[in-house]
C-alpha cells in the first residue's frame, strides 16, 4: 500500500465532521473475506432503484474513463448499482469538491448520502481509472457504515467518549471498511480483472489489512508515523465534545 498523502486522504463528512480514512493496509489477509465486499446476490440485485442508477449514471457521465475498465450491466456495474441504491437511501453523485480531499462521502443526511470522486489530483494530474475504481468502492462501503459513524459522533457530543476513545472508535469503523475493500479486491475485482485481462493490483485496495485492529493501529502510530488516525480525529473531537 502507498504511504499516505494528507491532501489525498479519502474522507467522510458527517454533519460537518471530516473522517479521514486510513490510507494503507497491513498484515495478512483474513481467513474469511468480509462478505460485504463480496459479489452481489440475486436478492441484492432486487434492491437496485431508479434513484441509485441515476446516481451511478451521473458519476459515469463525469468519469467515462471508468468505462475503460467495466461495462454497463456487467458484474462490477451491478455491484456499484446495488451500493448506489444503498437499501433505499440512494447515494447522490456531486461535482462539488468542497474539501481538500480527492474523494469523500457526506453523511450529514443519513437518508441521502453524497459522494464525490475526482478524476484529477489537486496538482492537475489525472487519476488512473483503476485507482478511481478502488476509491469509489471504498467510499460506497464507507457509506454502508453511516449509522456506526453517526453513533460514535452522538456519543462524543453527549460527553460519553474520551478523546482517545473517540479517535479509536472512528478508526475502528474505517478499519472494517478497509477489510471490506480488501474483500472486494479478492472476491470481485481479481476474478473480473483476470477474465478481462485488466490490471490486477493497481489501486488502493487495502490488500492484506488482516484482522488485528490494535496491531494495524499501532503500525500507523509507531511504524508508519503517518498521522493516522490522530491528525484526522483529535481536532474533530475538540469541536464535538461538550464544553
Q: Kindly state whether residue 235 falls inside one of the protein's structural domains.
A: yes
SS3 of residue 120 by DSSP: strand
pLDDT, averaged across the chain? 82
Range of the domain at 70: 6-21+35-240
Residue among 189, 211, 223, 166 at smallest CA distance from 39 = 189
**What's the distance, CA 24 to chain centroid?**
12
Q: Which of 21-35, 118-132, 143-157 has the highest mean pLDDT?
A: 143-157
CA distances in angstroms from 90 to 57, 93, 197, listed in the order given: 13, 10, 32
Q: Kindly state whether residue 1 falls inside one of the protein's structural domains.
A: no
Instruction: Say yes or no to pLDDT of 53 above 90.
Output: yes
Peptide bond before residue 179 is cis, with ω within 30 degrees of 0: no
Q: Kindly state whether residue 206 falls inside one of the protein's structural domains.
A: yes
How much of the chain, in percent, has pLDDT values that exceed 70? 79
Phi, psi of 167 (to 5 degrees): -60, -45
Instruction: Say yes or no to pLDDT of 32 above 50.
Output: no
Please tell me which residue, 55 or 97, carries the higher pLDDT value: 55
Task: Give the other-Cβ count within 10 Å of 37's Cβ.
Answer: 28
Q: Kindly state whether residue 28 falls inside one of the protein's structural domains.
A: no
Q: Kindly state whether residue 27 falls inside one of the protein's structural domains.
A: no
Q: Kindly state whether residue 30 falls inside one of the protein's structural domains.
A: no
Q: Which helix (H) or strand (E) holds 103?
A: strand 103-106
Q: Is 14 exposed, middle or buried (0-12, 13-18, 19+ CB in 10 A)?
A: buried
Please tell me which residue, 51 or 99, carries the higher pLDDT value: 51
The stretch 156-185 carries a mean pLDDT of: 94
What domain count does the chain have?
1
**For residue 212, what pLDDT is reported?**
94
Instruction: Say yes or no to pLDDT of 20 above 80.
Output: no
Instruction: Say yes or no to pLDDT of 10 above 80.
Output: no
Residues 228, 172: Cα–Cα separation, whole Å: 12
Q: Kindly state whether residue 26 falls inside one of the protein's structural domains.
A: no
Instruction: Say yes or no to pLDDT of 154 above 50.
Output: yes
Q: Are strands 114-117 and 103-106 parallel, antiparallel or unpaired?
A: antiparallel
Q: Kindly state whether residue 43 falls inside one of the protein's structural domains.
A: yes
Amino acid at each position: 500500500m502507498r504511504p499516505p498523502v494528507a491532501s489525498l486522504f479519502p474522507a467522510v463528512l458527517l454533519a460537518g465532521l471530516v473522517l479521514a480514512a486510513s490510507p494503507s493496509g497491513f498484515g495478512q489477509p483474513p481467513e474469511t473475506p468480509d462478505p460485504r465486499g463480496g459479489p452481489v446476490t440475486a436478492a441484492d440485485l432486487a434492491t437496485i432503484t431508479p434513484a441509485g442508477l441515476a446516481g451511478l449514471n451521473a458519476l459515469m457521465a463525469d468519469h467515462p474513463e471508468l468505462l475503460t475498465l467495466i461495462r454497463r450491466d456487467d458484474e462490477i456495474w451491478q455491484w456499484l448499482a446495488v451500493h448506489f441504491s444503498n437499501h433505499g437511501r440512494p447515494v447522490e453523485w456531486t461535482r462539488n469538491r468542497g474539501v481538500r480531499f480527492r474523494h469523500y462521502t457526506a453523511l450529514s443526511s443519513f437518508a441521502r448520502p453524497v459522494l464525490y470522486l475526482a478524476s484529477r489530483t489537486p496538482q492537475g494530474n489525472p487519476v488512473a481509472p483503476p485507482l478511481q475504481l478502488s476509491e469509489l468502492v471504498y467510499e460506497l462501503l464507507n457509506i454502508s457504515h453511516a449509522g456506526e459513524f453517526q453513533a460514535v459522533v452522538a456519543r462524543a457530543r453527549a460527553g460519553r467518549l474520551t478523546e482517545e476513545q473517540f479517535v479509536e472508535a472512528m478508526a475502528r469503523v474505517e478499519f472494517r471498511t478497509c477489510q471490506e475493500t480488501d474483500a472486494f479486491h479478492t472476491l470481485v475485482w481479481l476474478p473480473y480483472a483476470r477474465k478481462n485481462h485488466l490490471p490486477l493490483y493497481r489501486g488502493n485496495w487495502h490488500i492484506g489489512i488482516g484482522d488485528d485492529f490494535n496491531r494495524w493501529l499501532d503500525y500507523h502510530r509507531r511504524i508508519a508515523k503517518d498521522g493516522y488516525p490522530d491528525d484526522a480525529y483529535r481536532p474533530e473531537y475538540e469541536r464535538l465534545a461538550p464544553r
